[in-house]
Structure 1
């Protein structure tokens, strides 16, 4: 096991040939996702059930078989993401993208990561909404088989949806300068956020929606309602695009507050 871990982290500067860098990055991405999803699952689902009174849907319809299928779909998506990663990084090393490898300070780093999150939020909202169009929904249907989502369903995508998601950071990396570590930081942030949104439990405090700043953060309840009702609440990190696009599910805050305060709302 230690030899495998040493192999996975032995080329974090991406100097190996393309095929080897891809294998290592795919294993690293898969390991990070599996550890994060596994951590959230153990803490919230089984065995610890730390937030058992804050389960969003009362009836558990997710089965072991469903969660296994979700995990396999998610891992396949992570490997596709890893392939795009290496293509972008190698292209950056050759000077074809805006990805750079020498640190220029904390402020440019934080600025580029913040810009990537904000840009991804806009891209995700509109591409997600587009995938709900009847002519394209067949590519999104796999993800919505998880009507009672778990952390393992975070990236349970059809390959076409995975490539649609990947297109964002291709466009970003050929347009906006960003350090390679900024890309990795963004990926970890979005993996954590996706695991929370798909956790099936509300982990945020009930006062979140009344805070003038934090009220714009999406919650697990926000995304869980999207999975349960199969429409509305298309946002990823923030709620403002749903408000602007008039796709906000009106009782989201009511459900959230009841789940956060008393455990759940039985609809």
Structure 2
């Protein structure tokens, strides 16, 4: 996936930039027929810089484009009247996200660099492993990353870790689409590691990887927009994740409730998560606020 994006960017953008800033020494009276640069495309330092730029561009684009679409067309803005919705919360969410992307990108680039340099198990032709494996790899990706993120997320709630890394994300007790990426940079990175690790452990076709990459980002926004897709007990959607933001110690999973059920951290959403009228009911908001107030600033339940 990344090598495709990098090749396109090299062809139309980076070649001319590197030719300008890192020109090759050319003897006088030599006719130049192509762009000449001293940093070839396969130079590891050039690749690192280029990938850092691309990672940031895609991070900002996906975040602002899809979060804004969700905010305009999906998010229930009545929830902004909830007593636990912070003053200027959306601006704070955007600020935390936007300032964190460069740091997250910096520590993420080595994964992409490994892919570009051929160390991952990404492959081009779907026929290399067959169509059925392609379908299976999607299912495997979802269950593998869900399992890993569950345990990483639960570890991030350990008192010694929570206050230093995960606490900023739990400022958003009533999340919006813009809170989807509003993490401490290292928190966001740690929870993204399973996606990158997967392609070093299991073969995955590149265009399937692109599709999953887009899906993961959209799903992350969707579970923060407050609007559920399923009222079932297997999908860890927005209703389940809203409870995680309200009550801290439940529903750590990303896509499914499987590991929450195994780990004893599953909490089934109530009717107020599904019924729009009850979701906007101020009596429900007061009850939720009282339950939230049972936890201290580090997400630990206060002693009676």
TM-score, normalising length from structure 2?
A: 0.69
Deviation at 1:192, TM superposition (A): 1.5
Residue 150 of structure 1, CA deviation: 0.4
Q: Which moved more, 1:240-249 or 1:16-25?
A: 16-25
2:263 is the counterpart of 1:233: no
2:251–2:266: 8 Å Cα contact kept in structure 1?
A: yes
TM-align CA RMSD:
3.1
Larger Rg computed on CA atoms? 2
Shift of 1:163: 2.6
Match of 2:265 among 232, 238, 247: 247
3-state DSSP of counterpart to 1:140:
helix
Aligned to 1:100: 123
* Cα distance in structure 2, aligned partners of 1:149 and 1:143: 9
TM-score w.r.t. the length of structure 1 is 0.77
Distance in 1 between residues matched to 2:208 and 2:102, nearest whole Å: 19
- CA deviations on 1:14-48 (whole Å, 9 max, x unpaired) are 96841123312321232122111000001134xxx
Q: 1:203/1:171 Cα in 2 relative to 1: closer, same or farther (>3 Å)?
A: closer
Partner of 1:212: none
Q: Are 1:84 and 1:166, in contact at CA under 8 Å, matched by a contact in 2?
A: no
Stretches of structure 2 that go unaligned for 5 or more consecutive residues are 15-40, 288-304
Q: 191, 197, 200: which one pairs with 1:165?
A: 191
Q: Distance in 2 between matches of 1:261 and 1:216?
A: 24
Distance 1:21 1:152 in 2: 24
SS at match of 1:202: coil
Q: 1:111 to 1:74 in 2, by over 3 A?
A: farther
SS in 2 for 1:136: helix
> Which residue matches 1:156?
182
1:82-97 correspondence runs (5 A): 82-83=105-106, 86-97=109-120
Count of matched residue pairs = 244
Alpha-carbon distance between aligned partners in 1 of 2:74 and 2:151, rounded to the nearest angstrom: 30
Contact 2:70–2:177 (CA under 8 A) maintained in structure 1: yes
Please give the alpha-carbon distance, in whole angstroms, between the structure 1 residues aligned to 2:104 and 2:184: 13
Task: Note closer, same or farther for the CA distance 1:9–1:175 as it changes in structure 2 (3 Å cut).
Answer: closer
Flag structure 1 segments of 5+ consecutive residues without an equivalent: 1-6, 46-50, 210-214
Say if 2:171 is the partner of 1:145: yes
